[in-house]
Each structure stands twice: as C-alpha cells, then as structure tokens.
Amino acid sequence: MEFLTVHSPALVVAVPLLAAFITPLISRIGNKFRDTVNVTFLSFAAFLMAVLAVDIYTSGTRIYTFGATVPELAIPEHYMVPVRIIFQVDGISIFMGLTTTVVALAALVYSLQFVKDETGQDRFYSLFMILYVGMVGLEFTGDMFNMFVFLEILSIAGAGLASYRVNLADAVEGGFKYIVISAISALLVLFAIGILYGEYNLLSIAALAHNMQFTTLDMIALALLGIAFVMKLAGVPLHMWAPDTYAVAPAGITPMIYTSSAASMYALYRITFTLYGGHFDTTAIGWIVIILGVLSMFIGVMMAIHQTDIKRLMAYHAISQSGYMLLGVGVGLAVLTDPVALAAYGRDAMNGGIFHIINNALYKGMLFLTAEAIFFRIGTRDLNRMGGLGHNMKWTTIFFIIGALAISGIPPFNGFASKLLIYESVFRFNPLLSVIAMFVSLVTLASFTKVFYSAFTGPEMSAYKEVREVPKSMLIGMGVMAAAIIFFSIFPGLVVNTIVAPATNALIDQASYINGVMGAVP
C-alpha cells in the first residue's frame, strides 16, 4: 500500500498509457476482451487516484520526481534548483484529477455500446486513454515544458476523437477547427516557456515562482499564456471552435473534451495564482478574468437560445457555465492581496467557482450524453424534428430532467449549491455581477425548458414509434453521472469541506507550493 501511495502520481498516468498502447494488440483477441481490459485499466487508474486523494487530504502535497532515487527528492544533491521533471499534486490538482476520472469512467462505459458498430474501435479506445492521460498529466505536472507536452497530447487525441466519425463531413470540420486552435495555443505556450526559460534558466513552476521578478518580459509571457489557455477553455471572445467541436464529437468524447477545457482552466489558474501570484496587480488581472467570465456567461447563453441543434445548444451553455467558474475564481483573484475581503467573501467565491467545475463536468457531461443518446436512436440533432421521445426513452428523459434542473440552478440540485455560493459572495464584491449571473441562470432554465418540451413531451410521433431505450452500457454511463450529481446535491457541505476547500487553499497558498519543491533552498 505504501508503494502504491508513493508511486501513484506516476502510475495514474502510466497505467492508462499502457492500456492505450496494448489496445490495438489485444483487440485482435476479441472486442469483448479489449473492452474488459480497458474498463479494468481505467478502474485501476481510478483506484490509484482515490488512493492518492486520500493521501493528499490527510498528509498534504505529494511530490513525485521522475528519475530520482527517492521520489520526494525534488532537488538533486549539490544542486540549487530542480532539474528533473516533477509531478506536484496538491489540493487543486487532485480535485481536477478526481473530476477527470469520474467523467472518463462514465464516458468509457457509455462508449462501449455507442461505438459498437463503428469501424476503428481499437484506435478509438487508444485515443480515449491518451486523452485521459493528457488531462491528468496537465493537472499533475509541476514543470512548464511538461505542461506543454501534455497539452499537445490532449489536443491531438481530442482532435482525432472529435473527428472520429469521418464519414460525416461536419465531424471532420469540427475536428479541424479544434486542432488548429489547439496548435496555435500550444505554440503560444511554448513561446512563453521560451521567454521564461531564457530569463530564469528554469522550467519548474515552483522554482520559477520562487524567482519571479515580474519584468516586462514576464508580462508578455503572462499575456501569451493567458490568451493560449482562454482559447483552449473556450472563453468568449475566443470560443468560436467550441460549439462546432462539441456538437460533432461522438457522445463519450464531448464530455471528455469539455473536461479537457476545464483542465485548461486549471492551467490558467495555476499560472495566475501560483506562477505569478502576488507579483502583479491582482485587482486588475482579477477584473480581466471577471469580465471574461461575465462575457462568456452572457454571450454563451444568448447564443444558445435560438439554436435548433441540440448539441450545439448545449455547447453554448457549456461556454456560458465556464463563465461562472471564471467569475467565481476571478473575484477571489481580485481580492487576493486583501486579507479581510478574502476571508469575508473571496474564499467563498473561489469555493463556488471551483465547486462549479466538478458540478458542471457532471451535469453538462450527462446532458451531452443524453443528447447523443437521442441522436443514437433517431439519427438527428435537430430539435424541430424531435418530439414525444419521453414515451419510449424513459430513463434518458429522467437523466435529462436531472441534468437540466441542475444546470439551471434549481434547488436542491448541485448546480444550485455552487451557484448560490457564487451569487452570495459575488454580491458582496459587486452586486451587478451577481444580478447578471442570476439572469443568465434564468435564461438557461428557459432554454432547457424549450429543449425538454420539443424533444420529450407531446404525443408520440409516428416516425419514432419504433424508438427504444438506449442500450444498457449507455444507461450505466449516464447513471454513474446522475448518481454523482444526486450525491453532490444531498451533501454539498460535505463535498465543499472535503475536496473543494483544499483546492481553494492550494490556489491561495502560493508559498506552500513553492516550499514543496524549494523547501531545502534558503
């Protein structure tokens, strides 16, 4: 057990990677066997993630240095700075890791039946595992260049999966948009890394933060990193790719790509809070994040109202919900240097924003899955051609209702819990922002009511008489997410205290992140 705990940060990346590369081999034995192996490997990774989480919540940040004699030894003897690649897993990293893992498990189980009749399944599962590895690596790494590599890994895998159904022309187009955006943003990140390396001769995030001078060059690097990650997380005004890619990606993949956007959001927070934290005018940068958030919220939901393609509509809502996370954490960033305000409402705002990440990954992911369940059965995403599906697809309808109520922030669902935290704390920062957030929530409810009425209610349509409920594995995939949503809805306080508050602390407490690596250096 001790061995597992110590090596879990590396294993949680290595195990799915192994699965990815043996998948093409073992699928020669049989598809059933391959599916079993993949689910087993991902479950094992989830188990490792749980072991790691328990360790981190009991004994603090865990460091894993690749190639060192002792994994905790970040700085080799006779050196003053870390030279090896480090995985540094703290509260926010493990929070993102848990989110990713839950979504990946549900999406994998869902995909088992969904891609059953498609060709190229072994490549689908390979890329799926690589996408998971890319996200977890991005969330765990403590090294700037490593962050770039994992960003590219998740981009390539994500783009390949988004255009998995190459027989559909729009799928290729959506995938192409995603890879172009990803390639540009990754190159911007590499450029920024070059600037930082040229200045400090360092790549480790902790060591860079320790030596940060905040010169003009650093400001340029911050701007480049900011643009790159906002592009990847689909914040307005750089959101153009998201509706296209989310709409065309196969069902299990849309939640995964959406979660990878959340991973990019984590990278943005890591850069602003940990790498640059305290060196810049946090109020100004905080306001920039807040304005980005409000724009995303408002424009996203306004674009969503008139959509007729169900997945495109949900994709615009996904952009809009990202706005809440940016708003909550942006308020925390704006008052970061003001201890009174931080204690009074900044911390709660950040709790709300971070709690919203996992809530949203769950209910948004589930809504995408229900949308694709409909597409799976009736072959269209056009809302105008749907109707009366509630008669035959009872479970899908129930899951859709849960997701729609949660995303609209209706009590007692988990969306309400995180949104309430945001409303209350943001109201004390600036009442207008809170009013906008509530208005957006109302419009969201209206929009999902429209979807519910046009897709599920009404008389049974003659064209869809033969429509049946989706296969079991797809129901299980959605059920996993629904169970998590219901759990989060019943115990929001427990969840906030155990996993969200440590994440917030990890972001605010820059010194302990630096000390985790640079502790030995005076």
Partner 1 sequence: MMPYIPYNIPFVAVALLMGVSLFIILFKRNLIKIIMGIAIMGAAVNLFVVALGYRAGGVAPIYTSTPEGAMVLPVPQALILTSIVIAVSVIALMLTMVIHTYRHTGDIDAKKSRLLKG
Three-state DSSP string of 90-130: CHHHHHHHHHHHHHHHHHHHHHHHHCCCCCCHHHHHHHHHH
Rounded CA gap, 279 and 16, in Å?
A: 38
| Shortest Cβ 166–partner 1 spacing (Å) | 5
| Shortest Cβ 123–partner 1 spacing (Å) | 12
Rounded CA gap, 204 and 190, in Å?
A: 14
Residue 184 or 438: the one with the smaller Cβ distance to partner 1 is 184
CA separation, residue 357 to residues 258, 411, 438, 480 (Å): 11, 18, 18, 17
Residue 329 lies near partner 1 (rule: CB under 8 A):
no
Query: Which one among 156, 371, 481, 482 touches partner 1, defined by CB under 8 A?
Result: 156
| Shortest Cβ 186–partner 1 spacing (Å) | 8
Query: Which one among 24, 30, 60, 194 touches partner 1, defined by CB under 8 A?
Result: 194
Residue 134 lies near partner 1 (rule: CB under 8 A):
no
Answer for the pair 333, 425: CB distance below 8 angstroms, yes or no.
no
Rounded CA gap, 291 and 295, in Å?
A: 6
Query: Which one among 155, 204, 322, 418 touches partner 1, defined by CB under 8 A?
Result: 155
Q: Which residues contact 189 (CB under 8 A, 6 or more apart)?
A: 147, 148, 151, 224, 225, 228, 229
Q: How long is the chain? A: 522
Site for partner 1 in 288-307 (CB under 8 A): 306-307
Burial class (CB in 10 A: 0-12, 13-18, 19+), 42: buried
| Shortest Cβ 122–partner 1 spacing (Å) | 18
Residue 249 lies near partner 1 (rule: CB under 8 A):
no
# residues near partner 1 by CB under 8 A:
38
65: three-class secondary structure by DSSP: strand
Query: Which one among 197, 376, 395, 491 touches partner 1, defined by CB under 8 A?
Result: 197
Query: Which one among 191, 395, 427, 452 touches partner 1, defined by CB under 8 A?
Result: 191
Query: Which one among 50, 183, 299, 467 touches partner 1, defined by CB under 8 A?
Result: 183
Residue 287 lies near partner 1 (rule: CB under 8 A):
no
Residue 42 or 301: the one with the smaller Cβ distance to partner 1 is 301
| Shortest Cβ 290–partner 1 spacing (Å) | 28
Closest by Cα among 259, 301, 242, 251 to 102: 259
Query: Which one among 25, 29, 54, 166 touches partner 1, defined by CB under 8 A?
Result: 166
| Shortest Cβ 53–partner 1 spacing (Å) | 30
Residue 390 token pair: 């509630």
C-beta atoms surrounding 223 within 10 Å: 12
Residue 237 lies near partner 1 (rule: CB under 8 A):
no
- Write the DSSP string, 446-469: HHHHHHHHHHT-SSPPGGGTT--P
Residue 198 lies near partner 1 (rule: CB under 8 A):
yes
335: three-class secondary structure by DSSP: coil
Query: Which one among 86, 190, 292, 336 touches partner 1, defined by CB under 8 A?
Result: 190
Q: Which residues are near partner 1 by CB under 8 A?
A: 145, 148-149, 152, 155-156, 159-160, 163, 166, 169-170, 172-176, 179-180, 182-184, 186-187, 190-191, 193-194, 197-198, 203, 243-244, 247-248, 306-307, 312
